[in-house]
Amino acid sequence: MTKDEFLASVQSNERPPESLSRGLQSLWHASKGDWEKAHIVAQDIPGPDGSWIHANLHREEGDLGNARYWYARAGKSESNAAIEVERLEIIETLLKKPERKARS
């Protein structure tokens, strides 16, 4: 899936494509404006990718202290980019990863 296909699915679908990883599902919900669902999904994503998503979500929420914690867990510097710009960066990064299917 390309970034444009991902974004088109946000505009046209009621739910994320099943082929998306949990990380991309979380970002799909965030892009759709459903912060709560995005956060619920993000809580179950281990490792740096999940932490980066979590940081972005907490920035959007306005909880910068919590966001800083998640940036540290992700091994990333705190972003100064607009939330949507950083979110697109995360989406592009995850789309390049070889394993994109959701785990049951």
pLDDT tens, per residue, the chain with 104 residues: 999 999 999 999 889 998 999 999 999 999 999 999 999 999 999 999 999 999 999 999 999 999 999 999 999 999 999 999 999 999 999 999 876 444 43
User: DSSP assignment of the chain, as one string?
Assistant: --HHHHHHHHHH-SS--TTS-HHHHHHHHHHHT-HHHHHHHHTT--HHHHHHHHHHHHHHHT-HHHHHHHHHHHT-PPP-S-HHHHHHHHHHHHHTSS--SPP-
Q: What predicted TM-score, i.e. pTM, was given to this entire model?
A: 0.89
